[in-house]
Amino acid sequence: MPKITVNVDGVAYTDEVEPRLLLVHYLRERAGKTGTPVGCDTTNCGACTVQLNGVSVKSCAMLAIQADGAEITTIEGLGNGGWHPLQRAFNEEHALQCGYCTPGMIMAAADLLRTNPHPTNDEIRQGLEGNLCRCTGYQNIVRAVRRASEAGAAT
């Protein structure tokens, strides 16, 4: 079986993987990163969004073997041991209810702020178009991303 080495949230892992193993299953079941959930089969929901080499990707639409050599950041590593400004803002603005979409939503928002540190509300909505939430109606998510951007989350 092919072997891959990946760095997940600052820790290097070397594992044998079946080629068809999805990255999200690798993260959840091999690296123990269960903070990243799976919500669909078709890249629509975005719950599984992580950062791969600094940009957002949907870890259910990638093979683990394709991540060989990559640096991956999940929701569990985003705050570097503390809370990232987005995590704080999601709490402060009540931007989550059941919380299932939240890891992906925050990772997508982090990517948005990376490329656009001070987005308008419309730009926030556009930036999160690949992440579905069934609880919040998105209103407080937009507020939270705004709040984080004002707090300088991108830096």
In this complex, which beta carbon is closest to another protein, that of residue 99 or of residue 117? 99
Asked if 115 and 22 touch (Cβ cutoff 8 Å), the reply is: no
- How far is the first Cα of the chain from the last one, in angstroms, to the nearest whole number? 40
In this complex, which beta carbon is closest to another protein, that of residue 74 or of residue 149? 74
In this complex, which beta carbon is closest to another protein, that of residue 137 or of residue 152? 137
**Smallest separation (angstroms) from another protein to the CB of 133:** 7
**Smallest separation (angstroms) from another protein to the CB of 147:** 12
Interatomic CA distance for residues 101 and 97, integer angstroms: 9
Helices (H), the chain: 23-25, 75-78, 85-92, 102-115, 121-127, 139-150
In this complex, which beta carbon is closest to another protein, that of residue 65 or of residue 151? 65
**Smallest separation (angstroms) from another protein to the CB of 110:** 11
Interatomic CA distance for residues 119 and 145, integer angstroms: 9
DSSP helix/strand/coil, 147: helix
Nearest partner of 24 among 78, 75, 60, judged by Cα: 60
In this complex, which beta carbon is closest to another protein, that of residue 90 or of residue 153? 90
**Smallest separation (angstroms) from another protein to the CB of 131:** 7
**Smallest separation (angstroms) from another protein to the CB of 41:** 5
